[in-house]
Amino acid sequence: MSSKTEKDKERLVQAAKTFFLYIQDFASFTNTLTELFNSCMNSKIITMAVKEDSYVKEVFEQMVRIFREMQSVVKAKDDNVQKHPLFSKITTVMGTEKSTDDAKELQPSYRPKVAPGNIPFIVSLISSGNIVANLESALSLLLMHPIMSLQLSDFNRQDTKGQSDATTSEQSPSAGPSTTTTVDTVKKLQNALRMANARNTIESAAEQLEQIVKNMRPTLEILQKAIQTMEMSAYGVKKVNDK
């Protein structure tokens, strides 16, 4: 195997691992946000259940389902909340690069006005954060590839040889997957990301998966921003209720 092919294979495996980690982050952030949302809005939206044998399509569909439910809850709570003077301020904060700092500055003026349901913050978050739009966009991009039919375990296969006999921590946790496992992973990803007329299918697969990972990053950042804003909002509610 040439050094070029080996390098392309390493790129593909690394992109697959990053994709796997991003999916885990998506699930974690979405569940954290859902729990905060349920607490603030007194709703009962079910969190995500993601396993390694889950299919990629199922994961994204669960996320879209959750945020659509959030939108429905927000709309049912108060259709007039957008008239609240604070709404436009929060909407502006969610669209800025320094949203965390700006949101902190917003807290002192906001706390005296906090309502039990914390509705203005929630509505602005779900309505102006473009979370659902970003998730649906990511989903539509992924639907272009057979990658959606793969399981999460296909992106982070571990060598299970000898694990049944391992009763202590003697096995090195940093040990990488076996050669057979790596070859199997590369072949499956290569087939799922195969492009017509591509001279180097491994290189092409690596480039495609790297682009998919790159496209996922902005939505992850939106979720992080949403959690930060929601946590500060919840802190404001607690401080007011404690007085």
Residue 151 pairs in a beta bridge with 55
**Considering only 4-8, 13-17, 169-173, which range has the smallest mean pLDDT?**
169-173
In a domain, 41, yes or no: yes
In a domain, 167, yes or no: no
The pLDDT-based confidence of 224 (bands split at 50, 70, 90) is confident
Largest CA distance in the chain: 69
Assigned token pair, 162: 């000898």
In a domain, 150, yes or no: yes
Domain range for 75 is 3-158+177-242
In a domain, 238, yes or no: yes
In a domain, 163, yes or no: no
Q: Is residue 237 a contact partner of residue 44, using CB atoms and an 8 Å limit?
A: no
Note if the pTM is more than 0.85. Answer: no
Q: What is the pLDDT of residue 133?
A: 75
Number of structural domains the chain divides into: 1
For residue 34, pLDDT over 60 is answered with yes
Rounded to an integer, the average pLDDT of 173-186 is 57
In a domain, 141, yes or no: yes
Q: Is residue 128 a contact partner of residue 162, using CB atoms and an 8 Å limit?
A: no
For residue 230, pLDDT over 70 is answered with yes
In a domain, 62, yes or no: yes
For residue 175, pLDDT over 60 is answered with no
Rounded to an integer, the average pLDDT of 142-160 is 77
Q: What is the pLDDT of residue 163?
A: 42
In a domain, 136, yes or no: yes
State the burial class of residue 185 (Cβ atoms within 10 Å of its Cβ: 0-12, 13-18, 19+): buried
